[in-house]
Amino acid sequence: MIVKAIHIDINKLDWIRENQELGYKDALSANQINKSLTFVWFENSDSFAWCRAYFINDKRIELGDVFVAQGSRGKKINGKKISEIFMNKVISKIWSNFLNANTITLLVEKDNIPAIKLYEKLNFNVKNMSKTDIKNSKVLGMKKPILMFRIKKK
């Protein structure tokens, strides 16, 4: 599985397909979006999974727009689910691309149990939401969000 990082330029979004819109476009500044990355798992010119690492500040990156293609959901490679392998690669790439970051956060709907279990398996924990997190969740159209976080291992 090869996961590539693509820089996001707010002025050049023509490469983004209809089903890959920037979820945080109205929640973050243009500067924050331009410092963000899209991670895509490509094979034979097909994308099987993608997600975005949104730059919140030097210390915090927020995962968003996580997607695994229907045909890859629940499938395993060497006994591990594709979603887990993909997200582990994304987390590793976040740490290597955002050297000053020490926290990865994400918002997930409270009733999305499969996603929450995956994030817990990836060492994310639930955290109280700040006013900014609550505002962003509303902009994103979330109904019952929870904030999860992971601290960089030293």
pLDDT digits (tens, 9 = 90+) for 64-88: 888 888 888 888 889 999 899 999 9
Q: What is the largest CA-CA distance in the chain?
A: 43
Distance CA 136, CA 138 (A): 5
How confident is the model at residue 15, as a pLDDT? 43
Q: Where are the domains of the chain?
A: 2-107
Which strand ranges, in their side-by-side order, compose the sheet holding 46-57?
A: 2-7, 37-43, 46-57, 60-68, 103-109, 145-151, 125-127
How confident is the model at residue 112, as a pLDDT? 93
Q: Which fold has domain 2-107?
A: Aminopeptidase (3.40.630)
pTM for this entry: 0.86
Q: What letter represents residue 108's amino acid?
A: V
pLDDT digits (tens, 9 = 90+) for 104-130: 999 999 999 999 999 999 999 999 999
